[in-house]
Amino acid sequence: MTSIASILDAPRAGLADDMTRDDNRRGFERDETDQFHQLVRQLVNDGDDRAAAAGRRARRTLQEMDPDYIRQPVLTLLPPTMDQCPLCERFNCPGHDCPPGVTALTDQEREDLSRKVGEANRRSETRPR
């Protein structure tokens, strides 16, 4: 008589174990990036052959492709914000109220401020972009 409390046979892995063994037997499988790299190598070789047939050399770098192109810097390091403002000569100038009290300037102060603004504009235009 069979009862619920009867002892079961030892567990077997079955299909999953067979698939794992088969996969291990096949060995290392290359991924799709190898196919991509192979395609790129073929395109490069084809481009080199076409350029050589035309008596030229294939362009490889941005400088070779567009010699007049000026790249923008990826990272521009600026001095700390604790410098003195060239317009109002305050430290940590917030900019929204710079220069303060423009309407109360004398003619000489207005000329000095105009000169400072011009110098600041020239400096900002000569910075690499």
The pTM (predicted TM-score) of the whole model is 0.30
127 Rama sector, left if φ>0, alpha if ψ -120 to 50, beta otherwise: beta
SS3 (DSSP) at 91: strand
Closest CA to 123 of 68, 78, 75, 70: 78
pLDDT interval class at 84 (50, 70, 90)? confident
Report d(CA 22, CA 16) in Å as an integer: 10
Q: 69 pLDDT exceeds 60?
A: yes
pLDDT digits (tens, 9 = 90+) for 23-33: 888 877 777 78
Q: 114 pLDDT exceeds 60?
A: yes
Do residues 58 and 51 make contact, with C-beta atoms less than 8 angstroms apart?
Answer: yes
Report d(CA 79, CA 86) in Å as an integer: 14
Report d(CA 25, CA 83) in Å as an integer: 68
